[in-house]
């Protein structure tokens, strides 16, 4: 009997698996020379890999749940499937060919999937590990801007706040790339970088949307007696 284990990795690249993908986060313009990028897939295994690339629209609801819908019309991907020998790399062209005039940035996942090809007609038994890297790609019109509003914050546990955010602008916000400033009467805490990324439950706020996120803070900071400012 054959078992297939599928692993999905967001926003990072792991060399301990069969291949690497770069970049994992990118940004394109809706038209012109900035509407195209090159992805690089490196086969770090000792076996030949068969790879397919698919594009998905990315939507995130207020509770942080992602909804992906396959999109076969907004991107020209060359090649969409490829075979990469051990230790070799393949460059993939990803060009946005969707609506050239956007009122707000659009978010996508570009999935780079390992395809299992079973050539064994016998009684094969074992575990095949297939890896899917889902990269984040935003198509961003020129002069678009984010506008972050903190709608509410409440204490859910001794060291955890629930924060409701709204992006009233037309450009996405990567919340983990901002600077979070928390102040109480006698204490001040500035979170950014890796420390902030580890404290946040959500990393992306799409334009014209709301999202609830949780953030882990020292117990001395209470939601009802502390202020919060997010600087990006």
pLDDT tens-digit readout, 35-61:
999 999 999 999 999 999 999 999 999
Edge to edge, what strands does the sheet with 179-183 contain? 188-191, 179-183, 227-231
Angstrom CA distances, 221 to 159, 176, 201, 212, stand at: 8, 20, 18, 19
% of the chain exceeding 70 in pLDDT: 87
CA triple 205-40-5, angle to 5 deg:
75
- The DSSP letter of residue 193 is H
Residue 29, pLDDT score: 98
Query: Could you tell me whether strands 106-115 and 49-60 are parallel, antiparallel, or unpaired per DSSP bridges?
Result: antiparallel
Q: How confident is the model at residue 82 (pLDDT cuts 50, 70, 90)?
A: very high
How far is Cα 150 from Cα 164, in angstroms, rounded to an integer? 6
The residue among 108, 11, 90 whose CA lies nearest residue 54 is 108
Q: How confident is the model at residue 120 (pLDDT cuts 50, 70, 90)?
A: low
Sole residue written with tokens 């890297």: 133
Residue 28, pLDDT score: 98
Residue 116, pLDDT score: 79
How far is Cα 219 from Cα 215, in angstroms, rounded to an integer? 12
In this structure, of 12-16, 20-24, 30-34, 50-54, the range with the lowest mean pLDDT score is 12-16
The residue among 2, 6, 31 whose CA lies nearest residue 18 is 6
Residue 160, pLDDT score: 96
Domains parsed from the chain with CATH numbers? 2-139 (2.60.40.10), 148-231 (2.60.40)
pLDDT higher than 60, residue 184: yes
pLDDT tens for 133-168 read: 999 999 999 999 999 999 999 999 999 999 999 999
Is residue 230 within 8 Å of 180, Cβ to Cβ? yes
Residue 65, pLDDT score: 93
| Residues 173-185, mean pLDDT to the nearest whole number | 95
Residue 156, pLDDT score: 94
pLDDT tens for 84-108 read: 999 999 999 999 999 999 999 999 9
Is residue 138 within 8 Å of 112, Cβ to Cβ? no
């Amino acid at each position: 009997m054959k078992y297939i284990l599928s692993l999905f990795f967001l926003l990072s690249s792991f060399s301990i698996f069969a291949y690497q993908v770069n970049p994992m986060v990118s940004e394109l313009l809706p038209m012109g020379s900035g509407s195209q990028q090159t992805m690089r897939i490196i086969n770090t295994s000792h076996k030949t890999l068969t790879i397919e690339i698919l594009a998905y629209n990315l939507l995130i609801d207020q509770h942080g749940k992602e909804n992906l819908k396959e999109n076969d019309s907004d991107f020209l991907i060359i090649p969409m499937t490829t075979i990469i020998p051990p230790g070799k790399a393949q460059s993939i062209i990803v060009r946005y060919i969707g609506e050239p005039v956007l009122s707000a940035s659009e978010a996508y996942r570009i999935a780079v999937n390992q395809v299992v090809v079973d050539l064994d007609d016998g009684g094969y038994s074992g575990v095949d590990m297939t890896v899917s890297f889902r990269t984040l790609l935003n198509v961003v019109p020129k002069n678009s801007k984010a506008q972050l509003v903190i709608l509410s914050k409440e204490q859910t546990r001794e060291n955890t706040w629930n924060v409701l955010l709204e992006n009233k602008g037309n450009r996405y916000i990567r919340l983990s790339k901002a600077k979070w400033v928390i102040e109480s009467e006698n204490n001040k805490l500035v979170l950014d970088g890796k420390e902030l990324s580890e404290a946040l439950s959500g990393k992306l706020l799409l334009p014209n949307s709301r999202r609830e996120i949780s953030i882990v803070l020292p117990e001395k900071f209470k939601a009802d007696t502390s202020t919060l400012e997010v600087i990006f």
